[in-house]
Chain A
Amino acid sequence: MANSTDIYAVPGVGAGLLDVFRRRYLLKLIVRKELRVRYRGSVLGLAWSYVKPLVQYLVLFFALGIVLRVGDQIPNYALYMFSGVIVVNFFTEAFSNATRSIVWNAALVKKIYLPRELFPVASVWVAAVHFLPQLVVLLAAALFSGWRPDVMQLVGAALGFVIVAVTATGLGLLAGAINVFFRDAENIVDMLMMIVTWTSPVLYDWTMIRRLAPDWVLTIYQLNPVTVAVELFHWAFWYPTVTKPVELPPHLMLTGLAGLGMAAVFLIIGQLVFRRLEGHFAQEV
């Protein structure tokens, strides 16, 4: 039992993301719940997380690769596109679900105090679970195309994953907190997610932007953390399978570190805004 030397705590004021780490067992249970609940009552269950990206990918590949013949300029276009598409899928799922996570868990937020950062973080985690099977498919496709990566390229891929996960967590905290007060946030995020596939070199390559846009636009374009992650994935999974000479963006690892820095900034901003607004969640959600 508590004795008089104990320090008094201020209820409802936590340590933010640090608390999420401390209560990782609860995080694990929430992630498991989300995965279980997502596919409740469906026969295919988790298989839907393969089927949906597969259909989306086939449509894109047919339209762009075969009808519009973008693939003529990019060797091994199928693999190029797939390695970018799965990064964007991970980002959009993580970000849009994190944005809705507080509102979705309103029943809990209103009744019991727990670190609310758990919900956006769990959303990103769930997206990562869905990302995994897609990565396995990518690896299989890459191996089939004679993939022999070096260590740096694998490090690059891991860095790309971390950049996307951190960016999605940061932006998810920000948008998730705002969404409690203005449900417009989730629509704005949905709109951004329609654009995000096109603001990164997923379906085309970066040299096409260089041809069209001035240098400073290209710089901004390349500083987008999602673009950084997509290029790192191209470097890791597509580049080693290409035999024709292709031009990669310069200083990939350096841009990667810059992207990580950007992601960290998003995370800090997200956490600060989240903490600022958190005190009003229970009464406003």
Chain B
Amino acid sequence: MGAAVIVKGLKKTFNLRHSHSLKETLVWLVKGRKGDLTKKFDALHDVSFEIQDGETVALLGFNGSGKSTLLKLISGVILPDQGTVRTKGRVAGLIEVGAGFHPDLSGRENVFLNAAILGMTEQEINEKFDEIVAFSEIEQFIDTEVKFYSSGMFLRLAFAVAVHTQPDIFLVDEILAVGDEPFQRKCLAKIKQLSDEGRTLVVVSHDLDMISRICDRGVVLSSGTVQFEGPADQAVAWLRERN
């Protein structure tokens, strides 16, 4: 055992900039840098915690508390302004299901592209392909362009790809609201299975009941700082008290 994710003194500031023009920047420079060209916003401030190997941890908090920013920092999509993030093993982030999908490609092509984006090798994809398609239950439409899919079909295929990428650390953002109830159950079962295999899961969700069922631990964020850290049901209770 050991830590799979170590987060130390994390700080992330966003520039709230409304223009992307060279002209305005030049004008600002010429005017002697009067006023702020950009407003700043602290999304995360001095956040530290560790996630152990094989743990399932929920990041909790209301909208705008910094959960997704934290997840993006762990996946490496954005870099911290201060502090460090360290991860061990392959990280697969489901920041948003189907981000790498292209509507003009067929389901089959999208499976290959997306799986490769999530870090699978050609051989791994070939081995897993049938399993992915079977999980998504859209065998019939696999050679149809994705733009003709219903939103449910699209999400099912995207989720199927993601859960078959075999990462050591799996980042899940609000994706369990996928599909109809039978499919949701299947997703939850798959998540449980990943966790039983000893993979580390970091889950962001507003579905508190589900979180207290599947997660070991919860980290509650508010205005970009850690407010509570502890067993999942206690974290959920803590958050509900302040609702």
Which residues of A does B touch, CB under 8 Å?
1-4, 6-13, 23, 25-26, 29-30, 32-33, 36-37, 40, 107-114, 181-184, 279-280, 282-284
Contact = CB atoms under 8 A, between A and B. Distances in A.
Contacts of A182: 20-22, 25
Contacts of B121: 25
A106 to B, nearest CB: 10
Nearest to A3: B2
B78 A279 contact: yes
Contacts of A184: 21-23
A183 B21 CA distance: 7
Interface string B84-102: 1111110101011001101
B20 A40 contact: no
13 contacts: A1-B53, A1-B199, A12-B77, A37-B102, A37-B104, A108-B117, A111-B99, A111-B100, A112-B77, A182-B20, A182-B25, A280-B79, A282-B72
A110 B77 contact: yes
A112 B95 contact: yes
Given A37-B104, A282-B77, A6 B88 contact: yes
Contacts of A283: 14-15, 78
B168 A108 contact: no
Given A25-B122, A29-B113, A112-B95, A181 B75 contact: no
B176 interface: no
Interface size grouping (class) on chain B = 35 or more
Contacts of A183: 20-21
Nearest to A27: B116
Interface in B1-38: 1-2, 4, 6, 14-15, 17, 20-23, 25
Contacts, number: 112
Given A2-B168, A37-B102, 4 more contacts: A3-B2, A111-B100, A112-B118, A113-B76
B96 A111 contact: yes
B85 A10 contact: yes
A246 to B, nearest CB: 45
Given A108-B117, A113-B93, A184-B22, A4 B168 contact: no
A2 B4 contact: yes
B78 A112 contact: no
Contacts of B198: 1
A148 B156 CA distance: 59
A10 B95 CA distance: 18
Contacts of B54: 1
A197 B116 CA distance: 38
Contacts of A26: 116-117
Nearest to B106: A36
A21 B97 CA distance: 27
B163 to A, nearest CB: 15
A111 B77 contact: yes
Contacts of A33: 102, 105, 109, 113
Contacts of A112: 75, 77, 93, 95, 99-100, 117-118
Contacts of A8: 6, 86-88
B21 A13 contact: no
B74 interface: yes
Contact of B20 (A1, A4, A12, A181): A181
